[in-house]
Structure 1
Amino acid sequence: MKKTNDSGGIETARTSASPQPAPASAASAEMRFAQSPLGAHLRAMLDKGSAANRAIADILLRHPVQATSWSIESLAEVAAVSPASLSRFARLLGYPGYAALRSDVAATVEAMINPVEKLRGRFDAQPANAPTPLSDSLEAALSNVRGTAEGLHPALIAEVVERLTTARNVYVMGFGLSAHVAGVLTLGLQPFCHGVQNVVEFGGTEVAAGRLLNVGEGDVIVALSIPRYASDAVHLAAYARDRKASVIAITDSSASPLIPLADCVLLARSSHPILSSSTLGLVVVVETIVAALMTSNQANVDQAAKLTEAISSYLFGDNGSRSPVRRRSLKTSERPG
Structure 2
Amino acid sequence: MRRIAEFLLENPQSPLEGTIGDLAKESGTSAATVTRFCRLLGYAGYASFRVSIATEAGRAAARETWTTDIGRAFGPDDSATEVLSTLMNSHIRSLQETASIMDLPAVKEISRRIAQSTHVDIYGVGGSAILAAELQARLYRIGINCHCWSEVHEGLTSAAIQNTDCVAIGISNTGRTKETLQMLKQARRAGALTVAISNNPHSPLVELADRQIITSVFERFLQPDDLSAKHVQLMVLDLLYLLIAQEDFERTTQNLSKSASAVAAHRRPTRKSGTRRTPGHSAASTPERVEER
The bucket for the TM-score relative to the shorter chain is 0.5 to 0.7
1:83 is aligned to none
Pick from 142, 159, 172 the counterpart of residue 212 of structure 1.
159
2:31 is aligned to none
Taking a change above 3 Å as real, the CA distance of residues 162 and 100 of structure 1, as seen in their structure-2 partners, is closer
User: Which secondary structure does the structure 1 equivalent of 2:85 belong to?
Assistant: helix
Q: Which amino acid aligns with 1:219?
A: C
How do 1:262-273 residues align onto structure 2 when only pairs under 5 Å count?
Answer: 262-270=209-217, 271-273=219-221
1:49 is aligned to none
CA deviations 1:285-328 (Å, max 9, x no partner) are 1111112222322222222222222222222333279xxxxxxx
**Structure 1 position 231, deviation (Å):** 1.6
CA deviations 1:1-43 (Å, max 9, x no partner) are xxxxxxxxxxxxxxxxxxxxxxxxxxxxxxxxxxxxxxxxxxx
Q: Does 1:145 align with 2:95?
A: yes
Q: Does 1:274 align with 2:226?
A: no
Taking a change above 3 Å as real, the CA distance of residues 228 and 122 of structure 1, as seen in their structure-2 partners, is farther
Q: Does 1:289 align with 2:240?
A: yes
- Matched length: 219
CA deviations 1:63-110 (Å, max 9, x no partner) are xxxxxxxx99xxxxxxxxxxxxxxx96463334897744557999xxx
**Structure 1 position 140, deviation (Å):** 1.6
Q: Which amino acid aligns with 1:306?
A: K
Contact map agreement 2:47 2:101 (CA 8 A) in 1? no
Contact map agreement 2:50 2:101 (CA 8 A) in 1? no
Contact map agreement 1:164 1:193 (CA 8 A) in 2? no
Taking a change above 3 Å as real, the CA distance of residues 123 and 228 of structure 1, as seen in their structure-2 partners, is farther
TM, length-normalised to structure 1:
0.55
Taking a change above 3 Å as real, the CA distance of residues 99 and 302 of structure 1, as seen in their structure-2 partners, is closer
Listed as ranges, the gaps of 5+ residues in structure 2 are: 1-11, 14-35, 59-72, 274-283, 285-293
Contact map agreement 1:249 1:258 (CA 8 A) in 2? yes
Taking a change above 3 Å as real, the CA distance of residues 194 and 261 of structure 1, as seen in their structure-2 partners, is same
**Structure 1 position 151, deviation (Å):** 3.6
Contact map agreement 1:137 1:274 (CA 8 A) in 2? no
Taking a change above 3 Å as real, the CA distance of residues 106 and 182 of structure 1, as seen in their structure-2 partners, is farther
1:43 is aligned to none
User: Which secondary structure does the structure 2 equivalent of 1:250 belong to?
Assistant: strand
**Structure 1 position 184, deviation (Å):** 0.5
How do 1:95-174 residues align onto structure 2 when only pairs under 5 Å count?
Answer: 95=46, 100-101=51-52, 123=75, 132-174=82-124
Q: Quick one: distance in 1 between partners of 2:158 and 2:48? A: 41
Which structure's relative contact order is higher, taking Cα pairs within 8 Å and 6+ residues apart?
2
User: Which secondary structure does the structure 2 equivalent of 1:258 belong to?
Assistant: helix
Contact map agreement 1:240 1:247 (CA 8 A) in 2? yes
User: Which secondary structure does the structure 1 equivalent of 2:121 belong to?
Assistant: strand
Q: Does 1:311 align with 2:263?
A: yes
Taking a change above 3 Å as real, the CA distance of residues 285 and 98 of structure 1, as seen in their structure-2 partners, is closer
2:131 is aligned to 181
1:226 is aligned to 173
Q: Quick one: distance in 2 between partners of 1:224 and 1:287? A: 14
Listed as ranges, the gaps of 5+ residues in structure 1 are: 1-70, 73-87, 108-120, 322-328, 330-337
Contact map agreement 1:104 1:255 (CA 8 A) in 2? no
2:21 is aligned to none
Identity %: 17
CA deviations 1:92-135 (Å, max 9, x no partner) are 3334897744557999xxxxxxxxxxxxx8558x9x99x94443
User: Which secondary structure does the structure 1 equivalent of 2:141 belong to?
Assistant: coil
- The structure with the largest helix share of the pair is 2
Q: Which amino acid aligns with 1:310?
A: A
Q: Quick one: distance in 2 between partners of 1:294 and 1:158? A: 11
Q: Quick one: distance in 1 between partners of 2:48 and 2:108? A: 26
TM, length-normalised to structure 2:
0.63
Q: Quick one: distance in 1 between partners of 2:155 and 2:92? A: 33
Superposition CA RMSD, Å:
3.6
